[in-house]
Amino acid sequence: MATAGQPEPTHVVTCFLLRSQAGWDEVLLVRRSERVRTYRGAWAGISGYVEPGVAPLEQAYTELSEEVALSRADVRLLRVGAEVAFDDLALGQAWVVHPFLFALADSASPRTDWEATEHRWLPPAEVRTLSTVPHLTEALAAVYPPREEHHVAP
């Protein structure tokens, strides 16, 4: 909740797509383009602003459709994570991130739109090695590993 003189935080969703390659888990990250409003060039999950009156999970499905051309049939929700709230003092912006983890169907293939310049599949432990949007590793930790059994590369 905002206090006097502080704006309400902006709510966003961050979706992590999970696939298993050769028995090891990988998550999809995208590099944000120069055409987005914030964090240009940083690596992120599939993300977007939560629209007024829209539940975060519904917004997550919308972002997956718009940003990587995936329908509900192409993904399976594995886990909804606890919110990650933080202040970005450089931007003067408070954020609340709603993280989600989805399994990618074997037949599905993400195709990025203008919001991303490239995408990369990598083991979850390697996310921290990239230059990411703020608190991406915390958002990932809120949903990964999922409750069901997955293997993590050593």
Sequence ranges of the domains in the chain: 17-141
The pLDDT score that the predictor gives to residue 6 is 65
* Each residue's pLDDT tens digit, 43-87: 999 999 999 999 999 999 999 999 999 999 999 999 999 999 999
Matching residue, tokens 């991303």: 116
Q: Which CATH superfamily is domain 17-141 in?
A: Nucleoside Triphosphate Pyrophosphohydrolase (3.90.79.10)
Cα(101)–Cα(127) distance, integer angstroms: 15
1 has pLDDT over 60 = no
Long-range CB contact pairs, 134-141, < 8 A, 24+: 134/39, 134/86, 134/88, 134/95, 135/84, 135/86, 135/95, 135/97, 136/14, 136/43, 136/44, 136/45, 138/84, 139/14, 139/16, 139/45, 139/81, 139/84, 139/97, 139/99, 140/16, 140/27, 140/45, 140/99
**What are the φ and ψ backbone dihedral angles of 110, each rounded to 5 degrees?**
-65, 140
The pLDDT score that the predictor gives to residue 50 is 98
Q: Identify the three-state secondary structure at position 56.
A: helix
**Does the pTM exceed 0.85?**
yes
* Each residue's pLDDT tens digit, 85-98: 999 999 999 999 99
* Each residue's pLDDT tens digit, 105-137: 999 999 999 999 999 999 999 999 999 999 999
